[in-house]
Amino acid sequence: MVKPEVYKELGLTDQEYQKIETIMDREPSPTELAMFSVEWSEHCGYPRSRKWLKLFPQEGKYPSLVGEDSGGIIVDDLAIVFKMESHNHPSQVEPKQGAATGVGGIIRDIFTAGAKPIASLNSLRFGPLTEPYNKFLLRGVVDGIQFYGNCLGVPTVGGEIYFDESYSGNCLVNAMSIGVCHKDQLARAKAVGVGNPIMYVGSSTGRDGIGGCSVLASHEFSEGEEKRPTVQIGDPFTEKCLIEATLEMLATGHVLGIKDMGAAGLTCSSAEMADAGGVGMEINLDDVPLREQGMEAYEIMMSESQERMLVCVKAGHEKEIEDIFAKWDLHGVVIGYVTDDKNLRVKYQGKVVADIKTEALAKGPVYDMPAEKPAYLDEVNKLDLATIPLPTNYNEVLLSLLASPSLANKAWVYEQYDHMVQTNTVVLPGSDAAVLRLKGTTKGLAATTDCNSRYCYLNPYRGAQIAVAEAARNLVCSGADPAAVTDCLNFGNPEKPDRFWYFKNCVMGIVDACRELYLPVVSGNVSFYNESPKGPINPTPSIGMIGILNDVNKHCTQYFKDEGDIIFLLGESKEELGGSEYLKVIHGQVAGEAPALGLKVEKAVQKVVYEAIGLGYINAAHDCSEGGLAVALAECCMSDQNNMIGAKITLVPGIRADAALFGESQSRIIVTCKKENLCKIEELAIENNLVCNELGVVGGDNLEIANLINLPVEQLSQTWRSAIKL
């Protein structure tokens, strides 16, 4: 009998070990036990979340690609492949390498699908910058992203960063990547054809990252815990060669299946490829290229060394594949072959060290986790606006909000990223969404990442819906038609019912919002156990979304363009302050309900703006979100540093001034147009039963809002741009 401390050290429970013994009908070998531990971990097998992930809609406006390491959509003859994934725990331990290997891993998921990576985005969360370690994490993560992405030649074109106390002790680093190929060039992650060779390609295997998915990504951080050895080390120059070699290999037509060796390394790629193809596989670890001596079989199978992939090749073409990788100074070696017994058999040093049914590994247990609403939430949701005093100086409030790190300008971050390499980028970072040209066509691709975790803390169902709705709004403001979703679901310990309640309700919010907006969820990732001794992170279901522009030249940006343009607001401002940045920064409260959201109104505002941009009526469009109307107007005035311009605004009467200025009512978009187009936009709004209020006019050097705010745009810009400089 294996001692409990052995399998528990690998992250397995008593019940899971007993189930393994039942499956094997014997005591598992050390290698088999290690393989089960990584493949059944939450990071790989999703045993606690899989039941809920099956609810995501998979149909939308374009044909969907779902079911591989990355998903996507078909647009004409193009396959657009994209995915978001977490690298939270490694980044908390070693921020530069954690973030770098997160970027490298998600990009490998794209090109192993046969697509050329064309863009990266990210969604980041840190504790307050008043704490020195959080500054260290931010610097390290940004350094890792720029180091890997810039060296690789894949532009980082967009993202988001928020700061909150809940992330002190557990930062979030969610990486997203997008690739494009002809739809006939898509590759599959499966092994087929008995006798066909299995080839290991890429870099060599070391001890870095061993157990990363089971030991690091599937447990909470404890006080003083040291897990640096489980963090992988990445080499972007090797990955650049790997991209070129892989795409060249796929072009031969000799590849039957391919999978990245990401989480769980060789265990995951071999077991899941064999199971997906309904076959078995035999591999010999003596043939695996190693960079360290004396490695045990379980170490080779668990290693998460970077820049490696597993390939199923048509028999007789091994030498051709080997030569391609040799040309790029990479390994390309046969380590096994496809069998007909549906077992994964692993040999090492003349012995069989593992022999397991592939289905048992790849389709592990599914748990029905208990969920319970936190007892504190009813009290937190109470907010009496009568107890919130109105500001005595609205100018000071606006400046304070613009200096809040979550709202402040992020140029210090994104200016370290190369966002112009490959020359596809049409709209640079700093607007509502990135816009890329799809070369060889007239079309464009827009992309964004979004999530307000404070809303999800206050109301997980509605907060997750808002994340979907805001991502779609950002794409519409760029002129794109929202097309498909990837997600990265970041939560605390799922074994605690109150944490799992947040997860379940966020999932249902995403499900219902995507169904209403007709958006498929084509890929994603779950990251549990995001906790520290201080407690869990705020529930953070990050949404990555892409949209399609039929004519990339008809894109739109958020900043004001010309003096005399008319400014108006589509959508209704409500008297609500719950969960707002204003309530947190100015009044020190996280309370109330998340803002109300009506998905039918949301669809109407998106439809009107999308059509008006397509018809050429709109000069600028900007989603009204965190910080409310006043912050959104300020961003419109100063986002383009080369063309900053003021505005004169009148407020729509009916609600208290701070809610009108700083409330975060949903389904609102600020737009501008020439005078001659005003009636055309108003007609579109009336046709769609949408509230449309003229606010004012572009012009001057100041932002003037009623008789409450009057500040030079230059002062607004200086405050906003100088808040984050490390």
286 is in an annotated binding site: no
10 Å Cβ neighbour count for 386?
A: 7
Strand-pair partners of 121: 158, 176
306 is in an annotated binding site: yes
450 is in an annotated binding site: no
Which stretch of DSSP H or E encloses residue 31?
Answer: helix 30-39
Strand-pair partners of 355: 345
Which two structure tokens, joined as six digits, stand for 584? 């947190």
- Report d(CA 97, CA 87) in Å as an integer: 10
359 is in an annotated binding site: no
- Report d(CA 183, CA 179) in Å as an integer: 12
**β 280-284/343-348 pair status:** parallel
Sign of the dihedral through C-alpha 82, 88, 89, 91: positive
Alpha-helical segments (H) within 533-654: 581-587, 599-614, 628-638
85 is in an annotated binding site: yes
- Torsion from C-alpha of 547, 425, 427, 519, nearest 10 degrees: 10
254 is in an annotated binding site: no
Asked if 296 and 210 touch (Cβ cutoff 8 Å), the reply is: no
- Report d(CA 119, CA 155) in Å as an integer: 5
524 is in an annotated binding site: yes
422 is in an annotated binding site: no
Task: Enumerate long-range contacts of 1-4, CB under 8 Å, 24 or more apart.
Answer: 1/27, 2/27, 2/28, 2/33
Residue 427: CA atoms inside 13 Å, Cβ hemisphere, count?
Answer: 30
Q: Which positions ≥6 away from 441 have C-beta within 8 Å? A: 76, 78
Active-site positions read 43, 87
146 is in an annotated binding site: no
- Report d(CA 256, CA 192) in Å as an integer: 7
109 is in an annotated binding site: yes
Angle among Cα 340, 343, 344 to the nearest 5 degrees reads: 115
For tokens 């986002």, what's the residue?
Answer: 639
606 is in an annotated binding site: no
Q: Residue type for 18, please?
A: Q
For tokens 């490696």, what's the residue?
Answer: 308
88 is in an annotated binding site: yes
- Report d(CA 694, CA 664) in Å as an integer: 19
108 is in an annotated binding site: yes
Residues marked as binding? Answer: 46, 83, 85-89, 108-109, 232, 260, 304-306, 487, 524-525, 527
Residues marked as binding for Mg(2+)? Answer: 85, 109, 260, 525
Residues marked as binding for ATP? Answer: 46, 83, 487, 524
Residues marked as binding for substrate? Answer: 86-89, 108, 232, 304-306, 527
